[in-house]
Structure 1
């Protein structure tokens, strides 16, 4: 269900699971690809992709879906995560 590696990715997975009850969730740490770029954190775990499928997204547009994800991760986004790519779909969507 996930590509969790470090503690930040694990926390993201826990929060998104609790908030949105996804049928699919992959939290992918993209930080290494951003080494030397703005916002890169030497501790790692600063850039992520979240690929999530949840019934909570049914009938919502892209912005509303992203807001649900951002709300679940709010303090992590302020304090620890520099960049987040969100791929949010309802069940049955490609």
Structure 2
């Protein structure tokens, strides 16, 4: 069995974003329990997530550009395993 199948998805998200963005601050929250029984809930308990990322890579980027950067790092997961992802992306020194 490959590590994608056995590692908690929140950990995979954290690893991917850390690698892609070298964040100063990163928090990943699994919000799936709040959406149990809703559309997109596949019963795994790993479908809905929130991320807060503070990274120098976001400096001078628009909100949409920042979200695209996060989405690019997680593209395969968004296509297959993540139903919903809430993103808060900031550059250092910006209000969170």
**TM-score range normalised by the length of the shorter chain:** over 0.9
Aligned to 2:60: 59
Tell me the alpha carbon deviations over residues 62-90 of structure 1, each in whole angstroms, 9 at most, x when there is no partner: 00000000000000000000000000000
TM-score using structure 2 length? 0.91
CA distance in 2 between counterparts of 1:51 and 1:45 reads 17
CA distance in 1 between counterparts of 2:50 and 2:13 reads 11
Q: Does 1:88 align with 2:89?
A: yes
Aligned to 2:33: 32
CA distance in 2 between counterparts of 1:52 and 1:45 reads 19
Pick the structure with greater CA Rg: 2
Gaps of 5+ in 1: 1-5
CA distance in 1 between counterparts of 2:44 and 2:37 reads 13
Aligned to 1:49: 50
Taking only aligned residues, the RMSD between alpha carbons, in angstroms, comes to 0.8
Gaps of 5+ in 2: 1-6
Tell me the number of residue pairs that the alignment of Structure 1 and Structure 2 aligns: 89
TM-score using structure 1 length? 0.92
Q: Does 1:21 align with 2:16?
A: no
Shift of 1:11: 0.5
